[in-house]
Structure 1
Amino acid sequence: MLFLGVPISVGIGLASIVTALFSFPPDVFAITAAQRAFSGIDSFSLLALPMFMLAGNIMNKGGIAQRLVRLARLFVGWIPGYLASTNVLANMFFGAISGSSVAATSAMGSIMGPLEKKEGYDPNYSSAVNICSAPTGIIIPPSGPLILYSITAGGVSVAALFMAGYLPGLLLGLCVMGVAIFIAKKKGYTASTIKEEDSALKILWDATPSLFAVILVMVGILKGWFTATEAGVVCVLYCAVLAFIYRELKLKDLYTMLADTMVSSATILFLISASTIMSYVMSYSGIPAVISEALMSVSDNKYVILLIMNLFLLVMGMFLDLTPAVLIFTPIFLPIVTSIGMSPVHFGIMLILNLGIGSVTPPVGSCLFVGCRVGGVTIEGVTRYIVPIFGAMVCALLLVTYIPQISLIVPYLLGLIPTM
Structure 2
Amino acid sequence: MEAAAGQRRGTGVSAVLADLQLPAAGASLPARAEEWLGHFIEAPAAALVVGEVAVLLAGVIARFAFNSPIPWADELASILFLWLACLGAAVALRRGTHMRTTALVSRFSPRVQAWAEVLAIALPCLWLVLLIVPMADYARDEWVVQTPALNWPNTVRAAAVPVGSALMAAIALLRLARRSIADVAGVALAIAAMAGVMYVGSDWLQSIGNWNLFIFFALLLGVSVLAGVPIAFCFGMATVAFLLTTTSTPLSVVSGRIDEGMSSLILLAVPLFILLGHLVEMTGMAKAMVDFLASLLGHVRGGLNFVLLGAMLLVSGISGAKTADMAAVAPVLLPEMKKRGNHEGELISLLAASGAMAETIPPSLVLITIGSVAGLSISALFTGGILPGVVLAVLLAVLARFRSAEVVQGLKRAPMSVVARTFLVAFPALLLPVVIRSAVVEGVATATEVSTIGIAYAVLAGLFVYRRFDWRRVYPMLVDTAALSGAILFIIGTATGMSWALTQSGFSHSLAQLMTSVPGGKYGFLMISIAAFVVLGSVLEGIPAMVLFAPLLFPVARAVGVHEVHYAMVVILAMGIGLFAPPFGLGYYAACTIGRVHPDQAMRRIWPYLGALLAGLLIVAFVPWFSTGLLAR
> Which category describes the TM-score, using the shorter chain as reference length?
over 0.9
Cα RMSD for the two superposed structures: 1.8
Q: 2:285 aligns with which of 64, 73, 77?
A: 64
SS at match of 2:459: helix
- Return the offset for 1:194: 5.0
Structure 1 Cα separation of the partners of residues 269 and 593 of structure 2? 28
State the partner residue of 1:167: 387
- Return the offset for 1:143: 1.6
Are 1:108 and 1:130, in contact at CA under 8 Å, matched by a contact in 2? no
State the partner residue of 2:225: 2
SS at match of 2:604: helix
SS at match of 2:251: helix
SS at match of 1:134: helix
Structure 2 Cα separation of the partners of residues 86 and 106 of structure 1? 15
Structure 2 Cα separation of the partners of residues 18 and 75 of structure 1? 58
Gaps of 5+ in 2: 1-223
AA at the equivalent of 2:257: R
State the partner residue of 1:129: 350
State the partner residue of 1:83: 304
Are 1:94 and 1:104, in contact at CA under 8 Å, matched by a contact in 2? yes
AA at the equivalent of 1:199: V
Q: 1:317 aligns with which of 530, 533, 537?
A: 537
State the partner residue of 2:408: 190
Structure 2 Cα separation of the partners of residues 134 and 243 of structure 1? 26
State the partner residue of 1:103: 324
SS at match of 1:268: helix
- Tell me, yes or no, if structure 1 residue 361 matches structure 2 residue 584: no
Structure 2 Cα separation of the partners of residues 247 and 217 of structure 1? 22
SS at match of 1:224: coil
State the partner residue of 1:117: 338
State the partner residue of 2:434: 215
- Return the offset for 1:23: 5.8
Structure 1 Cα separation of the partners of residues 473 and 412 of structure 2? 32
Q: 1:143 aligns with which of 321, 342, 364?
A: 364
Q: Which moved more, 1:254-263 or 1:345-354?
A: 345-354
- Tell me, yes or no, if structure 1 residue 305 matches structure 2 residue 521: no
Q: 1:329 aligns with which of 544, 549, 554?
A: 549
Structure 2 Cα separation of the partners of residues 355 and 150 of structure 1? 16
- Tell me, yes or no, if structure 1 residue 393 matches structure 2 residue 616: no
State the partner residue of 2:562: 342
Equivalent residue runs for 1:11-30 within 5 Å: 11-21=234-244, 24-25=247-248, 28-30=249-251
> Against the structure 1 CA distance between its residues 132 and 22, is the aligned structure 2 distance closer, same or farther, given a 3 Å change threshold?
same
Q: 2:258 aligns with which of 37, 41, 48?
A: 37
State the partner residue of 1:201: 420
Q: 1:227 aligns with which of 439, 446, 454?
A: 446
Structure 2 Cα separation of the partners of residues 137 and 243 of structure 1? 25
- Return the offset for 1:196: 4.2
Structure 2 Cα separation of the partners of residues 94 and 147 of structure 1? 17
Are 2:337 and 2:406, in contact at CA under 8 Å, matched by a contact in 1? no
Structure 1 Cα separation of the partners of residues 425 and 324 of structure 2? 21
Are 2:295 and 2:419, in contact at CA under 8 Å, matched by a contact in 1? yes
State the partner residue of 2:458: 239
Structure 2 Cα separation of the partners of residues 341 and 77 of structure 1? 45
Are 1:321 and 1:364, in contact at CA under 8 Å, matched by a contact in 2? no
Are 2:499 and 2:549, in contact at CA under 8 Å, matched by a contact in 1? no
Structure 2 Cα separation of the partners of residues 299 and 192 of structure 1? 57
- Tell me, yes or no, if structure 1 residue 152 matches structure 2 residue 373: yes
- Return the offset for 1:403: 0.8
AA at the equivalent of 1:90: A
- Return the offset for 1:228: 0.9
- Which one has more relative contact order, counting CA pairs under 8 Å at least 6 apart? 1
The CA deviation string for residues 105-142 of structure 1, in whole angstroms up to 9 with x for no partner, is 12211111111122222111112111211234331112
Q: 1:351 aligns with which of 565, 571, 578?
A: 571
State the partner residue of 2:601: 381
AA at the equivalent of 1:244: L
Structure 1 Cα separation of the partners of residues 402 and 317 of structure 2? 25
Structure 2 Cα separation of the partners of residues 192 and 84 of structure 1? 18
State the partner residue of 2:501: 281
- Return the offset for 1:162: 0.2
SS at match of 1:377: coil
State the partner residue of 1:416: none
Structure 2 Cα separation of the partners of residues 84 and 267 of structure 1? 32
Q: Which moved more, 1:93-102 or 1:362-371?
A: 362-371
Are 1:100 and 1:137, in contact at CA under 8 Å, matched by a contact in 2? no
> Against the structure 1 CA distance between its residues 202 and 54, is the aligned structure 2 distance closer, same or farther, given a 3 Å change threshold?
same
Structure 2 Cα separation of the partners of residues 256 and 402 of structure 1? 45
AA at the equivalent of 1:77: G
The CA deviation string for residues 183-233 of structure 1, in whole angstroms up to 9 with x for no partner, is 11xx46437815647432222221111121111111111111111111011
AA at the equivalent of 2:401: I
Are 2:348 and 2:602, in contact at CA under 8 Å, matched by a contact in 1? yes
SS at match of 1:29: coil
AA at the equivalent of 1:102: T
Structure 2 Cα separation of the partners of residues 199 and 110 of structure 1? 22
SS at match of 1:410: coil
Are 1:56 and 1:97, in contact at CA under 8 Å, matched by a contact in 2? yes
> Against the structure 1 CA distance between its residues 135 and 72, is the aligned structure 2 distance closer, same or farther, given a 3 Å change threshold?
farther
SS at match of 1:411: coil
Structure 1 Cα separation of the partners of residues 485 and 266 of structure 2? 13
- Return the offset for 1:410: 0.6
Structure 2 Cα separation of the partners of residues 172 and 94 of structure 1? 16
Could you tell me the percent identity over the aligned residues?
Answer: 29
Are 1:124 and 1:377, in contact at CA under 8 Å, matched by a contact in 2? yes
SS at match of 1:5: coil
Bigger Cα Rg: 2
AA at the equivalent of 1:108: V
- Return the offset for 1:164: 0.4
- Return the offset for 1:297: 3.9
The CA deviation string for residues 329-368 of structure 1, in whole angstroms up to 9 with x for no partner, is 2122212211101111111111211112222112443331
Are 1:306 and 1:401, in contact at CA under 8 Å, matched by a contact in 2? yes
Q: Which moved more, 1:163-172 or 1:236-245?
A: 236-245
Structure 1 Cα separation of the partners of residues 288 and 587 of structure 2? 22
State the partner residue of 1:418: none
Gaps of 5+ in 1: 414-420
Structure 1 Cα separation of the partners of residues 357 and 244 of structure 2? 41
Are 2:275 and 2:455, in contact at CA under 8 Å, matched by a contact in 1? yes
- Return the offset for 1:391: 0.3
- Return the offset for 1:150: 0.5
